[in-house]
Homo-oligomer: A and B are copies of this chain.
Amino acid sequence: MSSTRLSDRQRRIVEFIGDFLDEHGYPPTVRDIGRAVGISSTSVVDYNLKRLEREGYLKRVRDVSRGIELVGDGDRRSRGAFTEVPVIGRIAAGEPIEAVEERDRDRLLLSPSLAEEGCFALRVKGKSMIEDLIDDGDVVVVRPQSTADNGDIVVALLTEASDEPGRATLKRLYRERDRVRLQPANSALNPIFVDPASLRVQGKVVAVIRQM
């Protein structure tokens, strides 16, 4: 298998297939490709398509007209792959999350590199994390997980056992001996110390988005 780079002709074929798909919504025929790339013989197109398939640039379905599908980088359908992240409410230090009705939720579309599937977002209320550069009104993208590393910014739920019942909070989490410190990033505010048993980590902040 010659794993050399594609010939000029082959690159033009892949590019043309993508253009054709964008324009028409269906793949080109072997003869369409030949005409576009300047190949008079269908067998030569077929030859190059077979080669491109072996190299992993596309997939073909035998005996099916227009049975060509681009894969990987060439696939312009997946060039628009994105993650949909619902903004499910507002969070403020030490108060319950203000949930938003599902039908009123904003939905953010984000690159998969920014937020993986399953994430949610919360709008931040207040300046309790201002020294971590999270402002009032910012949106934090949260990846759901029940554990967190020391120093992670997490959405934590204080259960009834604690002295702050049923409240959600956005804080940095630090484990200390037999307790957990929830540290705001605002020197005007004091940390909260809780029993690990009365704390439930809801998720970790993976991104911050601010609109101006």
Q: Is the CB of A69 within 8 A of B109?
A: no
Q: Which of A133, A153, A207 has the most CB of B within 10 A?
A: A133
Q: Is the CB of A61 within 8 A of B206?
A: no
A80 contacts chain B at the CB level, 8 A cutoff: yes
Q: How many residues of A contact B (CB 8 A)?
A: 38
Q: Is the CB of B69 within 8 A of A26?
A: yes
> Contacts of A65 on B, CB cut-off 8 Å?
29, 65-66
A134-159 CB contacts (< 8 Å) to partner B: 134-135, 153
> Contacts of A29 on B, CB cut-off 8 Å?
65
Given contacts A24-B61, A109-B110, A110-B109, contact A212 B82 (CB under 8 A): no
Q: Is the CB of A209 within 8 A of B108?
A: no
> Contacts of A113 on B, CB cut-off 8 Å?
106, 211
A43 contacts chain B at the CB level, 8 A cutoff: no
A179 contacts chain B at the CB level, 8 A cutoff: no
Q: Smallest CB–CB gap between A203 and chain B, Å?
A: 12
Q: Taking A82-B82, A109-B109, A133-B210 as given, write out 16 further A-B residue pairs in contact, using a Cβ cutoff of 8 Å, ordered by the A residue number.
A: A24-B67, A26-B26, A26-B27, A26-B66, A26-B69, A65-B65, A65-B66, A66-B66, A80-B80, A80-B84, A80-B109, A82-B109, A109-B111, A114-B211, A133-B135, A207-B210
